[in-house]
Amino acid sequence: MQVKEMEPLCAHTTFRIGGPAAYYLVPECAEEVREGIAFANERKLPFVTIGRGSNILFSDKGYDGVVIEVGRGMERIEVLDDGMIRADAGAGIGALAAAAARESLGGLEFASGIPGTLGGAVTMNAGAYGGEIKDCIVSAAVLDADGAVQRLKKDQLDLGYRSSVIQKKGYIVLNAVFQMQEGEKETILQRMREMNESRRQKQPLEYPSAGSTFKRPEGHFAGKLIEEAGLRGYRIGDAQVSEKHCGFVINRGHATAAQGLELIGHVQEKVFQVSGIKLEPEVKII
CB count in 10 Å sphere of residue 58: 26
> Count of H helices and E strands in the chain?
8, 19
User: Is 100 in contact with 107 (CB distance < 8 Å)?
Assistant: yes
**Catalytic sites, residue numbers:** 162, 212, 282
Burial class (CB in 10 A: 0-12, 13-18, 19+), 21: buried
Give φ, ψ of 97 to 5 degrees: -60, -40
φ, ψ for residue 32 (rounded to 5)?
Answer: -75, -25
**Alpha carbon distance 159, 162 (integer Å):** 8
SS3 237: coil
Distance CA 200, CA 258 (A): 28
**What beta strand segments (E) does 33-171 contain?**
47-50, 56-57, 63-69, 77-79, 84-88, 105-106, 127-128, 131-132, 137-143, 149-153
